[in-house]
Structure formats: structure tokens, C-alpha cells
A = this chain, B = another copy of it.
Amino acid sequence: MPDALNPFRDCLGEGGVLSEPVRIAAYTLDHRALMRGETEAVLRPRSVEAVQGLVRLARRHGYGLVPQGGNTGYVGGATPEPGRRQLVVSLERMTRIRAVDPLNFTLACDAGTILAEAQAAAAEHDLLLPLSLGAEGSCRLGGNLGTNAGGLQVLRYGMTRDLVLGLEAVLADGALFSDMRTLRKNNVGTDLKQTFIGAEGTLGIVTGIVLKLWPAQSFRATAWLELSAGAPLPEIAALVRRETSDLASTFELISASSLGLVAEMRGSDPGVKAGPGGAVLLELQASSARIPLDDVLLGTLELLMERGYVADAVLAQSEAQRRAMWAIRETIPEGEKHAGGSVKLDIALPVSQLTAFLERGGALLAARMPEVRLSFYGHVGDGNIHYNLVVPQGQDRLAFTRAVEAGIAHDLYALAIDLGGSFSAEYGIGRFKRDLLARYGDPTRLRLIAAVKRAFDPEGVMNAGAMLPD
């Protein structure tokens, strides 16, 4: 271990500093294996005080810091950059559930807590932490907060920001910003905890979080919808919201091509079909048996079929059948990987513009890259489409990625933006979309983000290279 790391070893103790190349390799490669980073060491504090100590040491010794949770991000936001002399701060040893208050519907925990473990801690009290995403078994809440993660139930419960009541963070000078009240209402001056949410670790290292909980949603009704040709997604989504009185927690579009990728990977019939307009996985949830969910769902489906929007529908008759439907949705990313990988465009749109985007984007792709298979799916109930271009057989994944990102991706982003949408719905900016932010971001807004960055972190200790230009 290099001498320069001795102060960190003293501060963090046994196992607190990893520097052997074989131990740190997993921390320096981003989740999609698009960027190999570089660091002298991974710091693994066990307490808030240790985080404060390492921040002071880093500042004194001229290191930058890159906070890292589960390292499951899609935009390289937690990858230390070659040439920047950055140490990784992994929160993986700060995983304590601090408190669950069942009568206040809140959970307080360390930022290194794995999402699934926080979900489980809530479930022990018959409560629901509704944040839910593919990586929930390995992502950590500090990362979810830093990226304002979305996921599968935003339609009903909102983004991570909507779930956060309290937050604690170590600032760039080692001071502790502590705002861990468990209150739904607390108007006591500019709410700077909001500023940390989605700031991707550029303003400080989040160490503690208070989250809102809901009563456990023990009652569910789930259906697989085959959409008719030309079925208007915006109208369907609006009708579902109204007819289910917003008890719909999931409204996931699954295109025929995405379903096909799952079938190819499995080598078997997935047991459900896409209609000419694709398929939708629809789930209603309730915390009480007093709500007749099956009737509500059936009535809604009848109306959708009367209108001609839905050609056919299957209701899950058992938990096994429900899980089978969900497994299709959840294994689309694996299906893409099995086919050779994909370039992932994380598009957001006003829900009312979904059809327009799919039509115009599809035409663009067919004209410009007819050899490319498209896999689109996602949380269209809240306007978020994962619009992914599958790597054609025989092509190199990284080369294809670069070609798409330098080419047609810009046209698709420009189309989304033109329709009132965004080039990043839920993944964030990180290191991979920094140029896109500089290109599409409002200059006044970018100038203000930089000014706030300087106010929080004048020496640029925190996650330099992510989000902002130098």
C-alpha cells in the first residue's frame, strides 16, 4: 500500500482501505463495462465520523473523491476517472437500518443500505417502501438518491425524490449537513436536502436517509394486455388512471420486439403475446381487501376492449402467473444482452407525445439503420421509454455504441426534446451524458448549477468529472 494512503488507513482502520489491484477492479469498472476507471484506493468507512475524517484527509492531501453505492448506474457516475487522482468512497459498510416508525410511515437508514434490505425492513412492519427497480438486490439507497432513481412504480408513488423526507450528508469541508427529521411538512427555509437529490455525489457524500413508507400493498390484480393496431398509448394510460382511481402502480409497455428477445433467450414460448400495438403489463395494488381490485381491473379492461384499444387480455389467476408476467418484463435487459447487448436511450416524454415519438423515432431508425433491431419498453405510464438499439450480430459492442451515440442517438434525442421530452429520464448524466447536458441544457441553468457546485464544494473535491464540465 502506497505511503500516501497511510493517513486514510489510520483513519478508517482494518479493511477500510483497499488498494490491491485485484480487490479494487470491481469498483473501477462501470456497470455496463463501458469505462475502466482508475484509482489508488477504495475507502470503506463504517460511520459518518469516518466519512468526515476521510473527506478532511482527501482535501489535505489533494485527492478527489468519487462516492459509490452499489455501482449499478448506467452513466458512469461512480467511476473514478484516469488522471484525476480520485479515491472511491464506497458506502458498502454503512448499511444500518436506523429506525422504522410504523405509525409515522417512515424508515431511516444509512446510505449504504441495499434497496432490497430497506424494502425488507419495511415489510417486517407490514409496510411498503415502493421504490423498485431491476438492480434492487444490489443498488444502495445513497446511489438511488444521488441519481433520483425511478423504476417500476413511479406512476403511483413517484421518483426517489418523492419518497425522501430526510437526508444527512458530509460536505466537501468535512462538516455534516444533517436534516434527518421524519416530517411530511417542515417549511423551515430553503430546502437544501432537495439539492443533493439527483446531484450525483457532486455536492457531498450522502450518509443517511429518511424515506416515506406506505401500508403494505398485500392485494394485487395484474393483467397482460395485447394492444390493438394503432392503440393510442396516451389515451389508454389516462383511461387506466381514471378508471382505477390511480390504484394502478405499474403500467409497463413491452414492445413485440422486446418480447421476442426474451423468447429467443429462453428458447421457448413466453406464454403471453404482444398485440399489433405491443403489450402492457398492468398492475393494481391496494392495502385493504375492502377494495375490489379484480372488479376494478375487469371493468377497466372491458372499457379498453369496447374502445378497441385492447385486442385481448389475460388476468393473472395466481401468484405464479403474476410472477411469470413480471419475469418477462424484468428479463428484457437480459434478453438484449443475450442478443449481443444494446445501446440504451433513456427517453422521457410528456405522456401525450408517446405515440408521436414512437412513430417518428421508428421511421427514423428504419430509414437510417434498417439492420438494427429496436427493443423499446418501459414505464410509459409516466412517460419514460427505454428505447434500446440492439447490437447487430457480428458488430463490436463498443464500436456500435460509439457509432450510435455519435450519430442517430442525437437525432432521437433531438426528436424527444422537440416533443417536450428529455434525453435522460431516470439514468442521470454521470460521465457518459456530460456532453449531452452541455449540448441540450439551458445555459442559464447550467451556469447556476455550476455556481451552486462552487458554493457547496469550492475546491472541487466531490465527484469531479461527473455531470459538469471542469
List residues of A whose CB falls within 8 A of some B CB.
Answer: 101-106, 147-148, 150, 154, 158-159, 161-162, 171, 175-179, 181-192, 194-195, 197-200, 202-203, 214-215, 234-235, 237-238, 241-247, 286-288, 290-292, 295-296, 299-300, 348-353, 379, 382-384, 420-429, 437, 440-442, 444-449, 451-456, 467-468
Q: What are the 8 closest A-B residue pairs judged by CB atoms, nearest first? A: A103-B352, A194-B194, A215-B242, A185-B425, A103-B234, A245-B286, A455-B455, A104-B350
With A191-B194, A242-B215, A429-B188 as known contacts, state yes or no: A350 contacts B101, CB within 8 Å.
yes
In the complex, what residues of B have CB within 8 A of residue A104's CB?
234, 350-353, 383
A296 to chain B, nearest CB (A): 5
A397 to chain B, nearest CB (A): 25
Q: Which of B185, B199, B421 contacts A154 (CB 8 A)?
A: B185
Query: Given A103-B238, A177-B442, 7 other A-B contacts at CB below 8 A?
Result: A178-B442, A183-B350, A184-B383, A185-B384, A192-B445, A215-B245, A290-B295
Evaluate contact between A424 and B243: CB separation under 8 angstroms. no
Evaluate contact between B177 and A241: CB separation under 8 angstroms. no
Q: Which of B184, B189, B235, B238 contacts A467 (CB 8 A)?
A: B189
Cα(A115)–Cα(B299), bound, Å: 35
Instruction: Return the chain B residue nearest A187 by Cβ.
Output: B428
In the complex, what residues of B have CB within 8 A of residue A453's CB?
190
Cα(A299)–Cα(B427), bound, Å: 43
Evaluate contact between A429 and B185: CB separation under 8 angstroms. no
In the complex, what residues of B have CB within 8 A of residue A449's CB?
189-190, 192
In the complex, what residues of B have CB within 8 A of residue A247's CB?
245, 291
Cα(A11)–Cα(B351), bound, Å: 40
Evaluate contact between A198 and B202: CB separation under 8 angstroms. no
Q: Which of B214, B288, B379, B452 contacts A455 (CB 8 A)?
A: B452
Q: How many copies does the complex hold?
A: 2
Evaluate contact between B296 and A427: CB separation under 8 angstroms. no
In the complex, what residues of B have CB within 8 A of residue A181's CB?
420-422
Instruction: Return the chain B residue nearest A300 by Cβ.
Output: B290
Evaluate contact between B352 and A101: CB separation under 8 angstroms. yes
Instruction: Return the chain B residue nearest A235 by Cβ.
Output: B103
Evaluate contact between A287 and B185: CB separation under 8 angstroms. no
A122 to chain B, nearest CB (A): 14
A355 to chain B, nearest CB (A): 10
Instruction: Return the chain B residue nearest A179 by Cβ.
Output: B445
Q: Which of B189, B202, B422, B445 contacts A446 (CB 8 A)?
A: B189
Evaluate contact between B352 and A192: CB separation under 8 angstroms. no
With A147-B187, A290-B300, A444-B175 as known contacts, state yes or no: A105 contacts B425, CB within 8 Å.
no
Evaluate contact between B198 and A187: CB separation under 8 angstroms. yes
In the complex, what residues of B have CB within 8 A of residue A447's CB?
175
Cα(A428)–Cα(B189), bound, Å: 7
In the complex, what residues of B have CB within 8 A of residue A187's CB?
147-148, 150, 198, 424-429
Evaluate contact between B246 and A215: CB separation under 8 angstroms. yes
Evaluate contact between B192 and A452: CB separation under 8 angstroms. yes
Cα(A454)–Cα(B208), bound, Å: 27
In the complex, what residues of B have CB within 8 A of residue A234's CB?
103-104
A263 to chain B, nearest CB (A): 29
Q: Which of B178, B290, B451 contacts A444 (CB 8 A)?
A: B178
Q: Which of B186, B295, B421, B448 contacts A183 (CB 8 A)?
A: B421
